[in-house]
Amino acid sequence: MQNSKAEKLRKLASKRQIVRAKDARELGIPRTYLPRLARQGDLEKVGRGLYSSRDFSGTENASLIEAAYQIPKGIVCLLSALRFHNFTTQSPHEVWMAIGHKAWAPKGSSPPVRIVRMSGPALHFGTKEYSISGATLRVFSPAKTVADCFKFRSKVGLDVAIEALKECRQQKKASMDELAAAAKVCRVANVMRPYLESL
19-20 sheet: strands from edge to edge: 19-20, 50-53, 43-47
Given a cut of 80, is residue 135 above it in pLDDT?
no
Is 173:85 a contact under the CB 8 Å cutoff? Answer: yes
Per-domain boundaries in the chain: 2-53, 62-197
Count Cβ atoms below 10 Å from residue 144 Cβ, excluding itself.
29
The residues, any chain, with a CB within 8 Å of residue 12's CB and separated by 6 or more, are: 19, 23, 27
Closest by CA to 120, choosing from 105, 139, 100, 143, is 100
Positions of E strands within 21-157: 43-47, 50-53, 75-76, 95-100, 113-118, 127-132, 135-140
pLDDT tens column, 34-87: 888 888 888 878 777 778 777 665 566 778 888 888 888 999 999 999 999 999
pLDDT tens column, 148-186: 999 999 999 999 999 999 999 999 999 999 999 999 999
Percent of all residues in the chain with a pLDDT value above 90, rounded to a whole number: 50
**Predicted structure pTM score:** 0.77
pLDDT tens column, 72-93: 899 999 999 999 999 987 778 8
Of 7-21, 23-37, 50-64, which range is least confident? Answer: 50-64
Percent of all residues in the chain with a pLDDT value above 70, rounded to a whole number: 93
Residue 130 β-bridge partners: 137
Rounded CA separation 105/14 (Å) = 29
